Amino acid sequence: MASEYLDYLFEDVIVTESNAPRFVLDGVEVDIWNGDLSHYHSLSVADYIREGLLRFEKKGIDPFPEIIGKKPEKEMLKNALMSGSNILFKGMKGYGKTTFSKSIAKLLPERILAIKGCKINDDPTRPVCFSCKKAVMEEEKVELTWVGRKWVRILGDPMMTTRQLIGGLSIQKIREGYDIDSPEVFTPGRILKAHRGIAYVDELGAIPSAMQTLLHELLEEKQITTPEGDIIPLRIDTIFISSTNPANYRGTSDIKEPLLDRMEEIFIGPPDTLEEEILIGLRNMRLKEGPVLPDWHLRILARTVRLARMNNGGKVASRIEVEPSCRATIKLFDHVKASAMRAGRDVVLFADYGENYENVKLGLRSRLELDYEDVSKDEVISALVEDAINRTSMEIYSRIPRDDFGEIIEEISSLGVIDIERAEFSDKTYLSSFINNLCSSTLEFNSALEILLEALRRCTGVISKIECGKYEYAGKGAIKD
């Protein structure tokens, strides 16, 4: 009895206005062909994305505002999507590959029409699954529903099975008389769940190569071979975005060539500038409220992370094999702020780095690997922080007006031992006006005093540090040549 359906199960079924059943949405018969509803079916994911992109293009708006910087990458991506391509994002973790793929999904309409009850949200005019093909061909009335935009993440896993990726599909079971809707006949896997949306395969290279062959068959030939050997057309419609981290595979690509040939590769590297790195950190940190995190600390912490990356050519960077991503920057911002919060301070101070930079180590240790361990990670991290503080100190130092320099030093020398947390000296005009210049809010005053003293100590030696948070004038004799 079931076998009479088999003929059209192997066919592509396309519904037009002339051969369509009556469609019902929310209990009301609707005309999906004319008027408002006509936009929400029959179009492919690539069509919707193209439309979405052109809408942004016309207004001159960036369609991917979630991504900071990365202008050339965005341009390539837009072009690739316009031409309906699948994308492979290549690069280290933590540089926004997932965020990029999610922002692509936002180009899709918020909702589209689907056949009600369909396991893969079939388009009423281009059904893919067994039971919907049957329904539109056999039924006089077909119920529709709205489905939201889809972004389906598939985590690349060496243990992945066909059932997880593609699902269960069996013509044999129909021949044996199973109902066409029964799970034995058809259970969609992750990739079919992405039908009419975005499929994001995180770590494509980790998917076993036999599964990659199935993926290729599905995406390119729009068909699938069942375990029983039946070739079933499955015109699943998705834009396939995948990511790969070359560092995981030590040079050899684990992505099969036929699959690679179906994707446009875009490299996603670290943020190009310190400013972008800082923005990413600020946007993604957890502790957005609470103590103030002044600009110089943002620069020191983001710099510490960036100096650990090869492309920045830092002294110790050549020893680092796995470099820290933006997640390290995000975490460092959070850690120093958490420390200030615990200490009941309004502003982050050097004390929040920890006596031996423990809070920086906390955020970096698990995120970098050394080539071999003749130096400890902790030593490397301390060296990175020192380098970052030195560079940031130079910036602060260069902002001191030459004409005021003598007066500022003299005022400092008259203060004796300076305790950063308790310092108050509103009458000292040159010093306080320079510090106020550094601050973007009055809460930053003590921290600005601290970075100034640290900058003078590091750049001239005229100031000495007694302990964390306590400084004093070391005398002119201490000035470095």
Least distance CB 136 / Zn ion (angstroms): 9
Say whether residue 234 binds Zn ion (CB under 5 A). Answer: no
Q: Considering the complex, state which of residue 127 and residue 281 has its C-beta at the smaller distance from Zn ion.
A: 127
Residue 121 C-beta: closest distance to Zn ion, Å: 7
Q: Considering beta carbons, is residue 129 or 308 the nearer one to Zn ion?
A: 129
Q: What is the C-alpha to C-alpha distance for residues 434 and 448, in angstroms, rounded to an integer?
A: 9
Closest among 333, 226, 356 to 286, alpha carbons compared: 333
Q: Smaller CB distance to Zn ion: residue 142 or 340?
A: 142
In the complex, least distance from residue 47 CB atom to Zn ion, rounded to whole angstroms: 20
CB of 124: closest distance to Zn ion in angstroms? 9
In the bound state with Zn ion, the residue whose beta carbon lies nearer, of 42 and 413, is 42
CB of 383 to Zn ion, least distance (A): 60
Q: Residue 180 or 268: which CB sits closer to Zn ion?
A: 180
Q: Which stretch binds Zn ion (CB under 5 A): 45-53, 124-132, 182-190, 201-209?
A: 124-132
Sequence-distant contacts of 28-32: CB under 8 A, at least 24 apart: 29/141, 30/144, 32/113, 32/124, 32/125, 32/144
The region of 46-54, 93-101, 122-130, 281-289 touching Zn ion under the rule CB under 5 A is 122-130
142 binds Zn ion (CB under 5 A): no
| Beta strands at 151-155 and 197-202: parallel, antiparallel or unpaired | parallel
Smallest distance, Zn ion to C-beta of residue 348, A: 55
The CB-nearest residue to Zn ion is 132
User: Helices (DSSP H) in 60-201: which residue ranges?
Assistant: 71-82, 97-105, 130-138, 162-165, 171-175, 190-193
| Closer by beta carbon to Zn ion, 135 or else 400 | 135
DSSP class of residue 161 equals -
Are the C-beta atoms of 302 and 277 separated by less than 8 Å? yes
| Minimum distance from residue 225 beta carbon to Zn ion (Å) | 20
**In terms of CB distance, is 180 or 259 closer to Zn ion?**
180
Nearest to 87 by CA among 183, 202, 193: 202
Q: How far is the CB of 93 from Zn ion (least distance, A)?
A: 35
Query: How many chain residues touch Zn ion (CB under 5 A)?
Result: 4
> Are 452 and 438 within 8 A, CB to CB?
yes
Q: Are 69 and 272 in contact (CB under 8 A)?
A: yes
CB of 217 to Zn ion, least distance (A): 20
The window from 128-136, 342-350, 449-457, 464-472 that contacts Zn ion (CB under 5 A) reads 128-136
Choices 28-36, 130-138, 317-325, 468-476; region in contact with Zn ion by CB under 5 A = 130-138
Nearer to Zn ion, 180 or 340 (CB): 180
Q: For the chain, give me the number of helices (H) and strands (E)?
A: 18, 18
Nearer residue to Zn ion within complex by CB, 129 or 211: 129
Handedness of CA 339, 345, 347, 349 (dihedral sign): negative
Q: How far apart are CA 73 and CA 173, in angstroms?
A: 47
Q: And the tokens for 32?
A: 């999906």
Task: Give the per-residue contact string, 79-118, with Zn ion (x = CB under 5 A; - = no).
Answer: ---------------------------------------x
Site string for Zn ion, 40-79 (x = CB under 5 A): ----------------------------------------
Q: How many CA atoms lie within 13 A of 470 on its CB side?
A: 4
Q: What is the largest CA-CA distance in the chain?
A: 102
* CA 364 – CA 299 distance, rounded (Å): 16
Residue 237 touching Zn ion (CB under 5 A): no
Residue with smaller CB distance to Zn ion, 10 or 267: 10
Report if residue 122 touches Zn ion, rule: CB under 5 A: yes
Evaluate whether 282 touches 333 at the Cβ level (below 8 Å).
yes
Q: Could you say which residues in the range 403-442 bind Zn ion, by CB under 5 A?
A: none
The strand order across the sheet containing 28-30 reads: 28-30, 22-25, 141-148, 111-115
Backbone angles phi, psi at 409, to 5 degrees: -65, -40
Q: Tell me how far apart the alpha carbons of residues 425 and 431 are, in angstroms, rounded to a whole number.
A: 9
Nearest to Zn ion of 134, 299 (CB atom): 134
- Residue 13 is a binding residue for Zn ion (CB under 5 A): no
129 belongs to the binding site for Zn ion (CB under 5 A): yes
What's the DSSP call for residue 13?
Answer: P
- Could you tell me the smallest distance in angstroms from the CB atom of residue 114 to Zn ion? 8
Report the residue number, 127 or 156, with the smaller CB distance to Zn ion.
127
CA 311, CA 441: separation in Å to the nearest integer?
Answer: 34
Instruction: Determine the interface stretch with Zn ion among 132-140, 183-191, 257-265, 348-356 (rule: CB under 5 A).
Output: 132-140
**Minimum distance, C-beta of residue 212 to Zn ion, in the bound complex (Å):** 26
Residue 132 as a binder of Zn ion (CB under 5 A): the answer is: yes
Of 62, 45, 68, the residue nearest 268 (C-alpha): 68
Q: Which residues bind Zn ion (CB under 5 A)?
A: 118, 122, 129, 132
